[in-house]
């Protein structure tokens, strides 16, 4: 499911950040009340939580995250929902604000980013319309790509092995459940 939207519960801030790296619309605040969480789930967001009870209360829209390690959390989630992150969406979202990035005009980029970065990335500089941060393909992004690859997410392969693009989205309540390919 490429267009899944999430809301991450307390203690899942790192997971939320990495979901944003992968292009997923992911709300995260450490202090959501149960009422706010319920209303966000009602709007169609999948709840990611470490609390078994909250996951159960959200039914098929709740995913209980077991691991303490963010890489394993991502893999758990990918298995549970048969997620196949679309590489064309990676790095398309502000990691702080969660909003999609916009292309930066040449004039704006020239003014806002260091010269050498501007010259190396002229047409690839994007910015967040909410906070104004600029993003470009650089060493930081390469490191994140390498990290994703170590966790099993690469531009060429994803843990949801063989899942066809456009396959029926699956949301299951049991993260441990296996979904064999048809
Ligand atoms: Zn931002």
pLDDT for residue 179:
41
pLDDT for residue 139:
86
Could you tell me the distance, in angstroms and rounded to a whole number, from the CA of residue 135 to the centre of ligand 1? 10
- How far from each other are the two terminal CA atoms of the chain, in whole angstroms? 16
pLDDT for residue 63:
97
Mean pLDDT of the chain: 86
Contacts of 137 by beta carbon, 8 Å cutoff, 6+ apart: 91, 121, 124
Query: pLDDT digit string (tens) for 128-175?
Result: 999 999 999 988 999 999 999 999 998 665 444 444 443 333 343 443
pLDDT for residue 156:
62
Could you tell me the distance, in angstroms and rounded to a whole number, from the CA of residue 93 to the centre of ligand 1? 8
Cα–Cα distance, 84 to 129 (Å, whole number): 27
Could you tell me the distance, in angstroms and rounded to a whole number, from the CA of residue 16 to the centre of ligand 1? 14
Could you tell me the distance, in angstroms and rounded to a whole number, from the CA of residue 9 to the centre of ligand 1? 20
- In this predicted structure, the answer to whether residue 177 has a pLDDT above a threshold of 50 is no
Pairing of strands 5-8, 62-64: unpaired
Domain residue limits, the chain: 5-91, 102-135
Could you tell me the distance, in angstroms and rounded to a whole number, from the CA of residue 57 to the centre of ligand 1? 32
- In this predicted structure, the answer to whether residue 74 has a pLDDT above a threshold of 90 is yes
Q: What is the percent of the chain where pLDDT is above 90?
A: 74
Continuous segment of H or E residues that includes residue 27 = strand 25-28
pLDDT for residue 150:
94
Q: How confident is the model at residue 11 (pLDDT cuts 50, 70, 90)?
A: very high
């Amino acid at each position: 499911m490429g267009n899944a939207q999430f809301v991450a519960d307390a203690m899942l801030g790192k997971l939320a950040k990495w979901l944003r790296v992968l292009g997923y619309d992911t709300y995260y605040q450490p202090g959501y009340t149960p009422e706010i969480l319920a209303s966000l789930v009602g709007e169609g967001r999948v709840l990611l939580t470490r609390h078994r009870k909250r996951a159960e209360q959200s039914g098929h829209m709740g995913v209980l995250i077991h691991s303490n390690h963010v890489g394993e959390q991502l893999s758990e989630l990918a298995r549970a929902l048969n997620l196949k992150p679309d590489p064309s969406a990676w790095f398309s979202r502000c990691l702080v604000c969660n909003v999609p990035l916009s292309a930066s005009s040449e004039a704006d980029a020239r003014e806002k980013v260091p010269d050498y970065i501007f010259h190396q990335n002229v047409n690839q500089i994007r910015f967040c319309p909410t906070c104004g941060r600029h993003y470009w393909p650089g060493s930081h992004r390469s490191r994140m790509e390498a990290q994703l690859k170590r966790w099993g997410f690469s531009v060429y392969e994803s843990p949801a092995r063989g899942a066809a693009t456009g396959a029926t989205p699956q949301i299951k309540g049991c993260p441990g459940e296996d979904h064999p390919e048809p």
